[in-house]
Chain A
């Protein structure tokens, strides 16, 4: 994957597959402490301790041709080459949380890329009643996007209507730039 926003989309699609009703994505750019933190958490079906252990252990080389479950190893690789780590926690029936840390200034760190495209794609991909919250902070300012706010306005109109999605894309781009965050960084 060429940008971290694609890894984020991939992990969040796992949350959709796990029948989550609520998916929360957080990005924190702490340049002062040279730390980029990304987390995706959900209230989906979660994993058993055995499954979780297998997911934690799975590496990119072990996967071979079997692409199923490659998403976590790819994110781990992206974090580790940039001096970071990932942590996965999951409770069966409760949900899963994936956290990845990166050295912000590492020259091996992939760029975040377009989060507006990732959120638009995720809304399209998820069942219409999925709540998606996206928080992005950098240098003391924060942008928060919450589908619940959008739904309050849209009422009986689907959030996945193309006109609505395009507006959401520009709303996120605009909100990030107001908060001093580039949508391609």
Chain B
């Protein structure tokens, strides 16, 4: 059985990391559509993949959360990325593989993945 002491150690690690940041910067929010249409289309695995990638790459200041249906059911799973200082970007038909690319190019690289984005993705940067 995994020990709760491990969670205590993770707590300390996260706490130290958060304390290190002098200014509380705005967090980037990755918002996954989790209405029935999103879940049916695979939103759970997409959300879990984002969490996994953020953890394994040691990224901080990112929150993964959910939203309801935005009326584009046929394009689910839909993911919005809200980065401080950037226009939000809406991604459609997201898969776990696409989620990895969004993390690498948009979240880390600062450049939205235009091929997955719908509407006019703002690529002007920070």
Q: A residues near B, CB below 8 A?
A: 1, 6, 9-10, 13, 16-17, 67-68, 70-71, 74, 117-118, 120-121, 124-125, 149-150, 153-157, 160-167, 169-171, 174-175, 178
Q: Kindly list chain A residues whose C-beta atoms are within 8 Å of the C-beta of B44.
A: 6, 9, 117-118, 121
Q: Kindly list chain A residues whose C-beta atoms are within 8 Å of the C-beta of B2.
A: 167, 170-171, 174-175
Q: Kindly list chain A residues whose C-beta atoms are within 8 Å of the C-beta of B6.
A: 167
Say yes or no for B108: interface residue by CB 8 A criterion.
no
Number of A-B contacts (CB under 8 A): 100
* Chain A interface SS verdict (over half): helix
Say yes or no for B8: interface residue by CB 8 A criterion.
yes
Say yes or no for B40: interface residue by CB 8 A criterion.
yes
Flag if B36 contacts A124 (CB, 8 Å): no
Flag if B10 contacts A167 (CB, 8 Å): yes
Say yes or no for B39: interface residue by CB 8 A criterion.
yes
Q: B residues near A, CB below 8 A?
A: 1-2, 4, 6-8, 10-11, 13-15, 18, 34-37, 39-40, 43-45, 47-48, 51-52, 54-55, 59, 62-66, 68-69, 73
Cα-based distance from A178 to B1 in the complex (angstroms): 7
Q: Kindly list chain A residues whose C-beta atoms are within 8 Å of the C-beta of B45.
A: 117
A-B pairs with beta carbons under 8 Å apart, 13 shown: A6-B39, A16-B66, A121-B43, A153-B8, A153-B11, A154-B7, A157-B14, A160-B64, A162-B55, A164-B10, A164-B11, A167-B10, A174-B2
Cα-based distance from A153 to B84 in the complex (angstroms): 31
Given A6-B44, A68-B69, the answer on whether A153 and B37 have CB atoms closer than 8 Å is no
Flag if B39 contacts A149 (CB, 8 Å): no
Task: Give the most central of B1, B8, B18, B44: most A CB within 10 Å.
Answer: B44
Flag if B39 contacts A13 (CB, 8 Å): yes
Flag if A67 contacts B52 (CB, 8 Å): no
- Determine the residue in chain B with the shortest Cβ distance to A118: B44
Cα-based distance from A125 to B67 in the complex (angstroms): 8
Of all A-B residue pairs in the complex, the 5 with the closest CB atoms, nearest first, are A125-B66, A162-B54, A162-B55, A166-B55, A71-B36
Flag if A124 contacts B11 (CB, 8 Å): no
Q: Kindly list chain A residues whose C-beta atoms are within 8 Å of the C-beta of B7.
A: 150, 153-154, 164, 167, 171
Q: How far is the CB of A16 from chain B (nearest CB, A)?
A: 8
Interface residue from B1, B34, B51 paired with A165 (Cβ < 8 Å) = B51
